[in-house]
Amino acid sequence: MFQFRPMTHPRKFNIALWGLGGSGKTYTGLALAHQLGSRVAVVDTEHEASALYAARFPSAIVALDPPYTPERYLEAIHAAETAGFEVVMLDSLSPEWDGPGGCLSLQQANKKPGVWKEINDRHEALLKAINQTPLSVIVTFREKPRVIFGKDPDTGKAVVDKGDTTPITRERYDYEYDLVLHLQPTHVATATKSRLLTFRQGTALPANGDLLALVRTAMDPDSTLPASAVSE
């Protein structure tokens, strides 16, 4: 029997940040994490770069070394739950896809039939955990050019071009996240996907206090949105 209940404002948010090195993913991720909760855990694959901001964003950290299997990230999320954290930040999640021991590495090491389905199931289990954990989740992804394979219309020869940039992870990754931000080297954040009424897709603004205000407003629908934070 179906039993309906009144809708309530969500208690957790999942946010993804992607960009080149130096675009501010770690700093912005920590700032957002501390908007989502006071107890923040960081799973760090970036040589503990997040510790550079310890004075401004006090957090707990664990260094995640190779192999970057989906199960090791899963274990880290469950450890953060058990320890009573409110937010877990995965900085970076790209190695789980394209790092030592990550999904692509696992596929290259084992060519037996059906191995890709097995690896994909392991990856999906991690995505399921990101959605189902009661913790808010912040993830960062590294950035790479999108490679486009084509054919020269005049010569008929195969050509390879660079298209738009893309996060280093599986395609269609964004389903798991309420907000996806692309960070430019100029520290401007553009929402490439958003479920938040306060931050529509395509909105671009500096990764500063206005960005934090938008996320804070999304968490608390009764709060006041600053006029400076409604740019398109």
pLDDT for 42 beyond 90: yes
State how far the alpha carbon of 144 is from the alpha carbons of 21, 64, 141, in Å. Answer: 10, 22, 10
Domain boundaries, the chain: 14-229
Burial, 197: exposed, middle or buried (Cβ in 10 Å; 0-12, 13-18, 19+)? exposed
Beta strand extents in 45-154 (DSSP E only) = 60-63, 87-91, 136-151
How much is the mean pLDDT over the chain?
88
Residue 225 is given by DSSP the state P
Helix (H) or strand (E) holding 179: strand 179-183
Average pLDDT over residues 26-42: 95
For the chain, what percent of residues have pLDDT higher than 70? 88
- Please report how the helices 70-82 and 115-132 are oriented relative to each other, as an axis angle in degrees rounded to 10: 20
For residues 11 and 93, which has the higher predicted lDDT (pLDDT)? Answer: 93
Q: What is the pLDDT of residues 115-155, one digit of tens each?
A: 999 999 999 999 999 999 999 999 999 998 766 566 667 77
With a CB cutoff of 8 Å and minimum separation 6, the contacts of 172 are none
Q: Specify whether the CB–CB gap between 12 and 33 falls below 8 A.
A: no
Architecture of the domain defined by 14-229: 3-Layer(aba) Sandwich (3.40)
Looking at residues 31-40, what average pLDDT do you find? 94
DSSP-assigned beta bridge partners for residue 18: 141, 182
129 vs 157 pLDDT, higher one: 129
Residues 6+ apart with CB under 8 A from 48: 61, 63
Beta strands 179-183 and 14-19 are: parallel
Return the pLDDT at 188: 93
pLDDT at 223 over 70: no
